[in-house]
Copies of this chain bind each other. A is one copy, B any other.
Amino acid sequence: MLNLLELEQLVAFADQGTLSKTAEVLHLSQPTITRTMQHLEEEFGVSLFSRSKNKIQLNETGKKAVEYARGLLADAQEAVVQVQAFDKRLHTITVQSCAPAPLWFLLPVLSSEFPGQTISSTLSEETEILQKVASGECALGILPWPVELKGVSCVPLLEEKLSVCVPEEHHLASREHLTFEELNGFNCLLLSQIGFWDKLCREKMPASRFLVQTDEFEFQELVRQSALFCFTTDLTKDIRSSKGLLARRKVIPITAPEANVTYHLLFTNPVYRTVAETCRARR
């Protein structure tokens, strides 16, 4: 039976050209390499080298053996990687969401209901989410609308309502409701990593410019220091509303069906059916 460690020495020799160099790069002694090459010839049952007194090199058969050795070594490495990846998939719950807010509720529920499992979440495009849930590549998906697809279950998860934060001194601050059409043309501050909201705003307010901030702190500073519009939702229960961040701003709901979304949980494995209910209960 072939030995992968010996094959590794063989390809190292093919790369290095001499037994000494091979021994050096593998941190072994020359005699060890000599012995291994002799042993490989026994294992293959054929001569692999042409030897002079002071020189040894691969013959044609030896070169062919090296080809196969490279393949076997690569396959062996790949097998380990693949088995580890398989095991990881088996022990991780992968979640792909169209927006961050539902994850704030879903992830704690998953952690407590599936202890020991690793939970991995990503923000993605809606089409990608559906495809990955359907293919089984990802266990859970969150979309801002219901879908019907055989093999994929879909249950309502949470609602989220978008509001705009208008500076108090702005003439729109007195309004009780606003529409995208009325906001269109005003420039807005946006946080990055807000999923499909970004796309929705650009679509509904094509005349506006959006200043996307990657850093949370810088975003807050700009909200305080500027008169630019920004957004919030009813699921956002951070400091903004309570403390100084929105102190001098009016939070005005946006009346548009697209601004009031109902997130839906997608899954193929029925064990996840209950987590949607648990999420709604914790809301």
A residues contacting B by CB (< 8 A) are 1-5, 8, 43-47, 60-61, 64-65, 68-69, 71-72, 75-76, 79-80, 82-84, 86-87, 90
Contact = CB atoms under 8 A, between A and B. Distances in A.
23 contacts: A1-B5, A1-B8, A2-B4, A2-B79, A3-B3, A3-B4, A43-B80, A44-B83, A45-B80, A45-B84, A46-B83, A47-B87, A60-B86, A61-B83, A61-B86, A61-B87, A64-B83, A64-B86, A68-B79, A68-B82, A71-B79, A72-B75, A75-B75
A80 B44 contact: yes
Number of copies: 2
A69 B75 CA distance: 10
B47 A65 contact: no
A61 B90 contact: yes
Interface of A is mostly: helix
A163 B75 CA distance: 62
A145 B20 CA distance: 56
Contacts of A8: 1
A64 B88 CA distance: 12
Contacts of A87: 46-47, 61, 64
